[in-house]
Amino acid sequence: MRTTLELPDPLFKHLKARAALEGSSLRDLVVRLVERGLQAPEVAQPAPAALPSISLGSPMLLVAGKLSNASLSALLDE
């Protein structure tokens, strides 16, 4: 089957040079590398690290009608 791949120029040059060094065609080299990649065992991705959590005690009681920058600042200063 034919397909078209757009490869970055440096990668294409690297593949072309490697194929020449190995005495094979670019097609054979790419097929071999793709097959090897598909047969390789999948590498398990490490679980994301848990983020630290801090308990700050009970929540602050805030009354909706009394919220202002000054009152919030006073609560934070306590």
Residue 49 in any domain: the answer is: no
Q: Which residue has the higher pLDDT, 55 or 7?
A: 7
Query: Closest by alpha carbon to 30, among 64, 4, 69?
Result: 4
Task: State how many domains the chain has.
Answer: 1
The string of pLDDT tens digits covering residues 36-49 is: 999 998 888 889 89
Q: What is the pTM of this model?
A: 0.53
Query: Is residue 34 assigned to a domain?
Result: yes
Residue 47 · residue 32 · CB < 8 Å: no
What is the token pair recorded at 52?
């630290």
Residues in Cβ contact with 30 at an 8 Å cutoff, skipping those fewer than 6 apart: 15
pLDDT for the residue numbered 77: 83
Cα separation, 64 vs 56, whole angstroms? 21
CA distance 60 to 73: 13
Read off the pLDDT of residues 22-75 as tens digits, 9 standing for 90 and up: 999 999 999 999 999 999 988 888 898 988 888 887 776 777 777 788 887 887
Q: Which domain holds residue 32?
A: 9-39
Tell me 68's DSSP state: -
